[in-house]
Amino acid sequence: MIEQSGAPSMHATTIILVRKGGKTVIAGDGQVSLGQTIIKGNARKVRRLGKGQVIVGFAGATADAFTLCERLEAKLEQYSGQLLRACVELAKDWRTDRYLRRLEAMMLVADKNTALVLTGTGDVLEPELASGGVVMGIGSGGNYALAAGRALIEGDLDAETIARRSLQIAADICVYTNSNIVVESVDSP
């Protein structure tokens, strides 16, 4: 894809969140693409924040996502690890701050009680509860992973297996997604 300026644009990745059976998993692929070129195949786009109690996966421009992760970490410290409050405050800043408004990324975040998607338009969205659990997906292959996850959630598979299979399906369809998968998890009620 070429932006109007003529420079190649950075393509996102695929991130999926699955909550099932007392476990919340965020998984992401490792591909970073610029235009039609794969720049890196083993980027780590899923990380732990908040003294290891929060997991986050990001899609979009990598430097922008790192900036947002640092800001979220600061908000978690400011609000004593309250993930929802920290995310709402980050979303307010992201939407209103002139510098942050230009950041191009999306994030899935979770702790033992909460799972959210954050966007640059100020959205802090909780997932829709499916009968078997929760599935959310973002990034260029996010809809493929989301569809696969929704199909798998009602079966006997655990959260991590669903996340891995969903990402593999997305990697088989989306050219901006690979099968170098990183997974982080937290126990949930």
The residues that are catalytic are 13
Q: How many angstroms separate the Cα of 163 from the Cα of each of 91, 94, 141?
A: 26, 28, 13
Q: Which residues pair with 181 in a beta bridge?
A: none
Alpha carbon of residue 167 to chain centroid: 12
Q: Using the CB atoms, write b or e for 154-177: b if 16+ within 10 Å.
A: eeebebbebbbbbbbbbbeebebb
Residues 137 and 26: their CA atoms lie apart, in Å, by 9
- How many secondary structure helices (H) and strands (E) does the chain include? 4, 12
**In contact, 97 and 123? CB cutoff 8 Å:** no
Q: What does the block give as tokens for 54?
A: 């929060």
Determine the 3-state secondary structure of 153 from DSSP: coil
Residues 163 and 71: their CA atoms lie apart, in Å, by 27
